[in-house]
Chains A and B, each alone.
Chain A
Amino acid sequence: MRYLPLSDADREAMFARIGVDGIDDLFADVPRAAWRDALVDLPRAKSELEVERLLSRMAGKNVAAGSVPFFVGAGAYRHHVPASVDHLIQRSEFLTSYTPYQPEITQGTLQMLFEFQTQVAELTGMEVANASMYDGSTGTGEAVLMAHRLTRREKAVLAGNLHPQYRAVVENLAHMGGHEVVTLPPVPVGEDDVMALIDDDTSCVVVQTPDVFGHLVDLRPIAEKAHAHGALLIAVFTEAVSLGLVESPGAMGADIVVGEGQSIGNGLNFGGPYVGLFATRSKFVRQMPGRLAGQTVDAEGRRGFVLTLSTREQHIRREKATSNICTNSGLCALAFSIHMTLLGAEGLKRLARINHANAVKLAKALAAVPGVELLNHAYFNEFTIRVSKAAANVVEALAEKGVLGGVPVTRLFRQNGHDDLVIVAATEINTDDDRAAYAAALQEVLA
């Protein structure tokens, strides 16, 4: 067993030093009735080679996104991640370190988090950001709870075009905590009427842009109405790259901005681990959930960084904490931050521009296929098409032809009558050949 350094001789020597006969003596506090004398019913230890073989075989049963023309989005996006990002996050000192509770020997992580917080604040157009959340969906749930604390009101209003799995997370958390949530039905064509639901009981309005169908939403009138009624606007995004080209939620009046940072620096990973981005105005910082890195000085007056404002957190406040979260997605935040540093403002803008251009080209190519209608007017790198057959079957048939063509709306919204819609994403990874292959395959499937 290559992971266990103690030899039998070591164990004997240690038993002798402790003054016990063997391991059973050390488990004496465990009630005898709960002892398990036989091994559990699982296979015995395997060698490195055997494990590698077994898991490679399993991995081989999946269609890797990079092996086919790939257009799947709806909350997770495939972008090119520079090789240096994965190399750097695998450095032991980042990968195998713990939460930086001893700041003198964790300045690497703490400085990175301080830089990350600044990058996220800049990206979202907000004043302050935290050191990351589990992911975009759980961050959205926490944002709604934060709005309840800030406004002392109970009713959250959710736009119908919020990613339905984000919506499910918010509704679950709110319901379990005894709060009220009003959710509109999804509106793939046209605009939903979130404004009409804002009143003096509203704690917050939650709006996603680009929304789950890819539509860009102008948040300014919503922010205006929310603020007029003393409610907060929570802006959500699932595609961080969009903020390189599209107006920032902060500039459009959002009070809390929360989103998924996966698409910068992080792979698809079948849904996780991802990295939630969370930003707000400075005046709300003490109600923010999650960790914060802050700047200070050491005993010699040198600049250094620490985790701070921990009086919001559960290890001090226990049941009075702002949330029960005691971790963040540190390594994913690091990947985000490195990729962002490699991009810089110019690189991010260019990347976003390429994404948009590829989406526009793809939308044109698909709209030219008989039986396809494009639903979006304003979009970033994702849009929705109506097809002349059941969307789930179309996507399945495309997969059989070796094209992963998007997400049927029925996968996300189970019963909604929109069973002819497919959400399609294009990023910088798509080539002219990919687009041509998609259009050709779609034409065959719909013929």
Chain B
Amino acid sequence: MSMNTQGRPTSPGEAGEGGHTTFTGNRALMIEEALIYETGRPDVTGVDLADVDDTELHLGGLERSDAPNLPGMSEPEAVRHYVRLSQKNYAIDTGLYPLGSCTMKHNPRLNEKVARLPGFGDVHPLQPVSTVQGALELIDLVANGLKELTGMPAVAMSPKAGAHGELCGMMAIKAALEARGDARSVVLVPESAHGTNPATAALLGYEVASIPAREDGTVDVAAVKERLSPEVAGIMLTNPNTCGLFERDIIEIADAVHAAGAYFYCDGANLNAILGRVRPGDLGIDAMHINLHKTFSTPHGGGGPGAGPVVLSEALAPFAPLPWVVSGKDGFDLIEHAGQAGAAKPFGRMTAFHGQMGMFVRAAAWMLSHGADGMRQAAEDAVLSANYIRACLKDVMSLPFGDRPCMHEVLFDDQFLNGSGVTTLDFAKAMIDEGYHPMTMYFPLVVHGALLIEPTESESKASLDLFIATLRDLAMAAKRGDTERFAGAPWYAPRRRLDETRAARQPVLRWTPQAPSEPEPKRDAAE
């Protein structure tokens, strides 16, 4: 079935189980939706705008010559279009989203409400500092909270996402090395690291040296020590790591790294596991980014925006990028230029303006709502929930590193599917039919057919029990040889399995008027 340019399917939809095909391709509440380019019209508008009087143009002869193809819609059409699209998305408000390493926890609506207060949402970054004292106070509040929670003396607030924070932290390391006239060329990155870690190091011109994992899934201290040399600028390590384990030898690793004159970057993606229980500063870390969208519950928004403030040790603090907020007796001030920075030696600027203020407000609301006691409890509940899943599924799924406590996420591998004819991907797609978003798959790379599950602290026991029962049923079905359920999955999603190979080989990245998105199909059903 495909869609014509009027936005209605041109052939009947497939019959559901025991049902019949529909003329529209719709399935009751699940309604096919055309592209705005197929239903919108350039001369229609959903915004009331004043008439323009005939003032003269001062455009220097640069008036636009080509009319852009931008379809418009009236307000009711647009509202319906986007509501229908939204109904084709899974979300944390819909159900459990067990994405290991990505942390999908409840997004409180209070956070949304306060972020929209005009005093936060409707202030300009370049208004006089005297007119934004409350905004600077808010940034200061979040900055102090992050410093206290991590036991670190400084924080750079401006990075716009986790990977941007990684870049910021590694830039601070590079700047510190440059300041002491020490050009080093290698960064150590464990095999199990997020792909952003090696990409970040490479972006800064470093050679990436991979550190193997031990049998137990943690970083091999001996391998780190062996690899350390005067050429090594630093190590990028995730703790708790992407196998869901705490790096037991982290203090020993930090000491060895420092003894070699290098710095210790920690990927803070999993801070939510240890919040209020372990302070990264006490582990010897020099820089760590904090994903506010993970640990502090700011919503993921379908892929962003995030925010990635970076906490820094004494050694790196002087190099923190511009801008930053300072408090004095006359209120707060904003340091935006190197000339105002005093003794500090900011390495540069990560972004225009001051960072993701909207995310800071949301994070502040979460921090204040939980308090010191609630944040610690949240970390403990996240760890408890992951271990509960581990304990309840270990007999039907397979644990790559044996039966030992995990942190806030539990890592299974695909050994339990051996000989069943069901692949990791099939298993994940079958979860969709059961109403669950699949867990993180194939990551970390050190495990074959990895299935990384992170329940977070915001699932109830009943929710966890149902999830566990569902995975047990699926695992048993796979072992029984009920392969059709898996190979054809998902059966009930808005789309069946999508052809990703075709998308990459013949990229269609935009709508074009010349080439209709689908060949004109035959249609015999009545209009």
Contacts and interface: CB of A to CB of B under 8 A. Distances in A.
A269 B62 contact: no
Contacts of B78: 84, 338, 341-342
Contacts of B36: 115, 341
Contacts of B99: 98
A327 B509 contact: no
Contacts of A351: 47, 49
Contact of A96 (B93, B162, B171): B93
Given A169-B350, A294-B508, A308-B504, A272 B357 contact: yes
Given A35-B277, A273-B305, A399-B131, 18 more contacts: A5-B459, A30-B278, A41-B148, A42-B149, A96-B91, A105-B88, A129-B510, A169-B352, A216-B59, A218-B60, A271-B357, A272-B357, A296-B500, A303-B517, A331-B301, A334-B82, A347-B45, A404-B127
Given A56-B117, A360-B55, A122 B367 contact: no
B28 to A, nearest CB: 17
Contacts of A331: 299, 301-302, 304-305
A379 to B, nearest CB: 6
A301 B93 CA distance: 30
A31 B122 CA distance: 46
Interface in A111-161: 111-112, 114-115, 117-119, 121-123, 125, 127-129, 131-132, 134-138, 145
14 contacts: A27-B246, A95-B112, A98-B99, A104-B495, A118-B511, A134-B304, A175-B348, A176-B203, A245-B64, A344-B40, A344-B43, A349-B67, A350-B52, A360-B55
A346 B278 contact: no
Contacts of B496: 104, 298-300, 302
Nearest to A378: B60
B259 interface: no
Contacts of B107: 95-96
Interface string A91-114: 111111111101111111101101
Contact of B145 (A28, A42, A293, A412): A42
B301 A94 contact: yes
Contact of B509 (A55, A285, A342): A285
B131 A404 contact: yes
A165 B353 contact: yes
B45 A218 contact: no
A70 B93 CA distance: 38
Nearest to B134: A61
Given A39-B373, A360-B55, A268 B303 contact: no
Nearest to B106: A3
Interface stretch (B223-231, B384-392, B476-484): B384-392
Contacts of A360: 55-58
Interface stretch (A74-82, A194-202, A438-446): A74-82
A396 B128 contact: yes
A321 B301 CA distance: 24
B204 A314 contact: no
Contacts of A248: 64, 66, 68
Given A62-B134, A98-B102, A108-B85, A344 B73 contact: yes
Nearest to A383: B58
B117 A298 contact: no
B59 A378 contact: yes
Interface string A6-47: 110011011101111001011111110111100111111110
A51 B365 contact: yes
Interface string B299-336: 11111111100000000000001100000000000001
Interface in B218-264: 245-246, 248, 250-251
A3 B198 contact: no
Contacts of B248: 29-31
A39 B373 CA distance: 7
A254 to B, nearest CB: 13
Interface residues of A, number: 211
Contacts of B73: 341-342, 344
Given A10-B461, A272-B305, A303-B518, A344 B1 contact: no
A66 B122 CA distance: 7
A136 to B, nearest CB: 7
B510 A121 contact: yes
A35 B283 CA distance: 10
Contact of A135 (B160, B359, B374, B510): B160
Contacts of A129: 509-510
B268 interface: no
A292 B347 contact: no
Contacts of A23: 380, 383-384
A343 to B, nearest CB: 6
B113 interface: yes
Contacts of A168: 322, 348-349
A75 B45 contact: no
A436 interface: no
Residue among B104, B106, B463, B494 with the highest chain A CB neighbour number at 10 A:
B494
A345 B364 contact: no
B354 interface: yes
Interface in B171-206: 171, 174, 194-196, 198-205
Nearest to B370: A45
A84 B45 CA distance: 13
A100 B42 contact: no
Given A62-B135, A309-B507, A325-B163, A123 B70 contact: yes
Contact of A270 (B43, B278, B357, B392): B357
> Which 7 pairs from chain A and chain B are nearest by CB?
A344-B72, A378-B60, A59-B119, A271-B353, A172-B348, A331-B301, A61-B134
A127 to B, nearest CB: 8
Contact of A48 (B59, B354, B369): B369
Contacts of B344: none
A99 B78 CA distance: 23
Contact of A272 (B251, B358, B404): B358
A270 B123 contact: yes
A334 B82 CA distance: 9
B93 to A, nearest CB: 4
Interface in A281-321: 285, 291-306, 308-311, 313-321
A228 interface: no
Contacts of A2: 369
A342 B45 contact: yes
Residue among B194, B248, B503 with the highest chain A CB neighbour number at 10 A:
B503
A76 B49 contact: no
A324 B163 contact: yes
Contact of A6 (B53, B164, B376, B460): B460
B355 A272 contact: yes
A354 interface: yes
A116 B339 CA distance: 40
Contacts of B364: 55
A348 B134 CA distance: 34
A353 B51 CA distance: 10
Contacts of A348: 68, 70
